[in-house]
Amino acid sequence: EPNKRLFGLVATITGARAGELTQLTKADVVEEAGHLCIDINDNGDKSIKNAASARLVPLTDGAMGFSLTEFREWVAALPSSDSLVFGMSRDTASQWFNREVLPQALPDRTGDLVLHSLRHTMATLFKNAGVAESLAGDVLGHSGQGITFGLYGKAKAVDQMANALAQALLTSNHSR
């Protein structure tokens, strides 16, 4: 199912929380500084964990098999600006990912690896790629010191976040 596959890919390449992704609407997929981004916000009936969770996250073409073209086409086909991008609740998306995707992707995984573990993986990829701690915190929507892998700073430009994601996702060694 395209919505589930795209959900899994976007979760993998952004480190966004399941609830953040499942609340995304067509209107939340935006162009900023020449990058296609997801706008994680609390507009309307949506909720976010804290103020730092509101952010634009650039999507990285080619990372982990993600296609910007395919995602753009998926979003463009949604009927209205308030249509949910993935059409699933947080619990449905998390349970599907944990039950169906992880056992196939990581057959030797331990039971404590879940969808939320992707956030930890993203922080580790950033750290290993030498990305500034504050910039990694901006992408992950962390609010304070020690949450990502050190000090959290002020929001950075979308260009910097896009470069950081590309650096972490496209140039790192993805051996398992």
Rounded mean pLDDT of 60-69? 95
Better-scored residue on pLDDT, 33 or 173: 33
Q: What pLDDT, on a 0 to 100 scale, did the predictor assign at position 151?
A: 30
Q: How confident is the model at residue 153 (pLDDT cuts 50, 70, 90)?
A: very low
Q: How confident is the model at residue 103 (pLDDT cuts 50, 70, 90)?
A: confident
Q: Report the C-alpha gap between 115 and 109 in whole angstroms.
A: 12
Q: Report the C-alpha gap between 19 and 7 in whole angstroms.
A: 11
**For residue range 67-83, what is the model confidence (pLDDT) as tens digits?**
999 999 999 999 999 99
| Average pLDDT value over all residues in the chain | 85
Better-scored residue on pLDDT, 89 or 52: 89
Q: What pLDDT, on a 0 to 100 scale, did the predictor assign at position 137?
A: 85
Per-residue exposure over 12-40, b if at least 16 CB sit within 10 Å of its own CB, e if not? bbbbbbbbbbbbbbbbbbeeeeebbbbbb
Better-scored residue on pLDDT, 115 or 176: 115
Rounded mean pLDDT of 35-58? 93
pLDDT at 100 over 80: yes
